[in-house]
Structures are given as structure tokens and as C-alpha cells.
Amino acid sequence: MNTESAASLFLFSERSRELQTAVARFVSEEIVPAEAAFNAHAADPQTRWSIPPLLESLKAQARAQGLWNLFLPDPAYGAGLSNLDYAPIAELTGRSLFAPEIFNCSAPDTGNMEVLLHFATPEQQAPWLPRLLAGEIRSAFAMTEPDVASSDATNIALPIVREGDEFVINGRKWWTTGAGDPRCEILIVMGVTDPEAPTHRRQSMVLVPMSTPGVRVVRPLTVFGYDDAPHGHFEIEFTDVRVPAANLLRTSGSGFEIAQARLGPGRIHHCMRLIGLAQRALESMIERARSREAFGRPLGGHGMAQEAIALSRCEIEQARLLTLQAAAALDAHGNKGAKDLIGMIKIVAPRMACTVIDRAMQLHGAGGLSQDRFLAQAYAGARSLRLADGPDEVHIASLARSMLKA
């Protein structure tokens, strides 16, 4: 990772620099070489929805080396890093689609652990949080719905009805990432508990164990044909699902507030991982341009390849510095104070990654579209993040309104 200019502008702690070195080594020496085995496991119809033993082995190695829960700023649970200190580490984990889980730093578990830490009671935390922190189970976040524009969180319509000491849930969610993982044991479900309340107080969040009667995983959803097994993105149906009223997070009507608190750091994590993915795509372009010949000379001797490489370097560095600035602002001013910068990076980073990866695919020719390279699946993941955690249009409109008010 080339972050010379970033390092000159942002002072990372000694702990962060040590972890950057260790994570970079682990990704390059342990995880990237294992990608072929992971992909073969996922390609086999008999094993693809099971967990590769090698994954658990690498998780154990990472944890033994202290490369674990690096995203959590509370040293009682994680590495004790600020958002700025964690940002370059998240970038390094983004270089491989498998790396975040190996360090127990993958979505949606990261956001769900933060929700449980900040908004759950000790009694609510006890069955789930310790095992999530240990990487023993997975979780999912059920917010998006097929029948409403879920980019506006106030549209969320799933009814969560109070009946005595229980909540009863009926309806559908989709794009619930991780719900098909055999280790997924707990859902955080957002729905309407008071349809007559003010707009931003209608929704709440409740804890729903996956084993609850009436919870049905309907189907995996694909992104350009990729279903991301064994983790996946799923449609879920809730039919007369009953959970104790004690499973309500915080208070009735807190759903929108919790969602906003959850998504701020998560957007920075997503963007830094995308920068790592784009950086790897650029490095693959450079290698290709040096080693492949066309029309009597190396590809790197052609102007179109030089332009692709140079523009990609510029765009990655721009996105990297903007994302680091957003991380620093989040540390200094909190979610509300960093809102505009977080919106800016969510607009910029996914578009940049899509552009860079597309250039890399073009430079690799037809092979760049195939399973022989990481690029096609990387592009699918990057493209999905122009929609996940709020589509471009929502962030653009919010940023513009903020600027017009100033």
C-alpha cells in the first residue's frame, strides 16, 4: 500500500503503524495465497454453503497474533484505535474479499457488535456479544425491505406489534447480508412499533434469534451472478415471529437513531476497504502492463495503459486522503460533525473503485472478466457499495442540502 502522502498529513499512532505492518504481512503471506482454496470451496456445490476449515485456521492464527477486533475503539474489547488509526488497517484488509472476516472485522458483524455495545443491556449482550467478539458466531442486520424505498429509513414498514410481553413480527426483509451463513445466530431487525408516532420515532430495533419459529430464509440474492457463498445476501420472511419484549434495543422509537449511529463508522470502513481493493487492482494493472506484450511492445508502452495507470493512482490517492480526513473528523466531532465528509467519501470511494477495477479488467482482456482473476468479483462488490448503506443519490442530495444551508 502506498500511503506516503497520507502518512505525511495524518499522524498515525505507533500502535496503528505496528498493526499496519503486521496486517499487511498477514494479508500478503497468508490470506491472498489462500484465495484459490477459498474459491474452490465456494465453487463446489457440495461445500459452498459450508465454512472452509482453512478460514477458521487463519482466524485462529490472526487472533493469536493480536490481529483481532481491530475496529473497536474500546481497548476492553478491541485494539483501542481511533477511526483514523483504524482506517489504513481497514484498507489493508480490503485487499482480499476474505480478509475482513479473518481479522473479525467484517460487516455486518462490526456494526452489529457496536450496536450491542452501545445500545443493548447486559442481559441482551450476554447470549450474543461475547461469541461475536470471539468470532464463534455470525449475525445479520435486517433493515432493507423489497416493497419500500429503504434508502429512506423512515420508510421501513415491517410491523413489530406489541402483544403483552412479546413482539409479533410479520413481513419480509431482503439484502440481509450473512443470513445464510450456518454460523449466523442472531438478527437485528428494524421495523415499525408505533405507526402514529412522529416520523423519526416510528421504528425500533429488536433482537431476533435465527432459530425463532417463523423465521424463514427464502433465497440468496445475487450481485451480477455472485451469491457470495457461504455468507450471502438473503431474503427473509417473518411469519408470526414472537420474541420477548425484553429484546427491544434501547427504547421504542429508537430505531432511526440506532441506524444512524451504526452506519457512520461503517461507511468509513467500507470506503477504506474499497480503497485497498482498488489499490490491488492498480498493482495488477502495473504488473500486466510490464509483462504482457501487444503489437510488438509491452502494454506499458502504449498510451492507453499509461493513462489508465496514472489516472487510477491519482483517483485512489484522492479518495484515500478524503477518507482519512473523514475518519479524523469523526474522531474529533462525532457522527453529526463529520456527516458531510462521511457522505462525500460514500459518494467518491465506490465510484472510484468501480472505475479503477474496470480499467484493470480492460487491461487484462477477457481474462479480467473470468474466475481466474479477482477483478470481476471485486467489481461486483464495489458496485454494490454504490447502493449499500445509502445509494449515491441520497448522499449527494444530503450533501447539497447541507451546503445550500451554509
End-to-end CA distance of the chain: 37
CATH superfamily ID and name for 4-106: Acyl-CoA dehydrogenase/oxidase, N-terminal domain (1.10.540.10)
pLDDT band at 247 (very low <50, low <70, confident <90, very high): very high
Q: What is the mean pLDDT of residues 213-239?
A: 97
Cβ atoms of residues 323 and 272 within 8 Å: yes
The residue ranges of DSSP E strands in 49-165, in sequence order, are 138-142, 160-163
Cα-flanking dihedrals φ and ψ of residue 79, to 5°? -85, -10
Q: What is the mean pLDDT of residues 164-182?
A: 97
> Which CATH number does 261-405 carry?
1.20.140.10
Do β-strands 138-142 and 184-192 pair in parallel, antiparallel, or remain unpaired? parallel
At residue 40, does pLDDT exceed 50? Answer: yes
Q: What is the mean pLDDT of residues 209-219?
A: 98
Boundaries of every domain in the chain:
4-106, 118-255, 261-405
Average pLDDT of the chain?
Answer: 95
Question: Which pLDDT does position 3 carry in this prediction?
Answer: 46
CA-to-CA separations, 138 to 111, 184, 205, 235, 265, in angstroms, rounded: 12, 4, 18, 17, 19
Question: Which pLDDT does position 404 carry in this prediction?
Answer: 97
CA-to-CA separations, 386 to 164, 348, 349, 377, in angstroms, rounded: 41, 9, 9, 15
Question: Which pLDDT does position 1 carry in this prediction?
Answer: 42
| 337-391 residue pLDDT tens | 999 999 999 999 999 999 999 999 999 999 999 999 999 999 999 999 999 999 9
Q: What is the mean pLDDT of residues 131-149?
A: 97
pTM metric for this prediction: 0.95
pLDDT band at 297 (very low <50, low <70, confident <90, very high): very high
Which DSSP string corresponds to 254-308? -HHHHHHHHHHHHHHHHHHHHHHHHHHHHHHHHHHHHH-EETTEEGGGSHHHHHH
Q: What is the mean pLDDT of residues 186-202?
A: 97
Fold of 118-255: Butyryl-CoA Dehydrogenase, subunit A; domain 2 (2.40.110)
Residue 98, amino acid: F
The Cα 359–Cα 45 span in angstroms is 32
CB proximity list for 152: less than 8 A, separation 6 or greater? 394
At residue 70, does pLDDT exceed 80? Answer: yes
| 80-111 residue pLDDT tens | 999 999 999 999 999 999 999 999 999 999 99
| 2-32 residue pLDDT tens | 445 555 578 999 999 999 999 999 999 999 9
Nearest C-alpha neighbor of 232 from the set 177, 272, 185: 177
The Cα 384–Cα 379 span in angstroms is 9
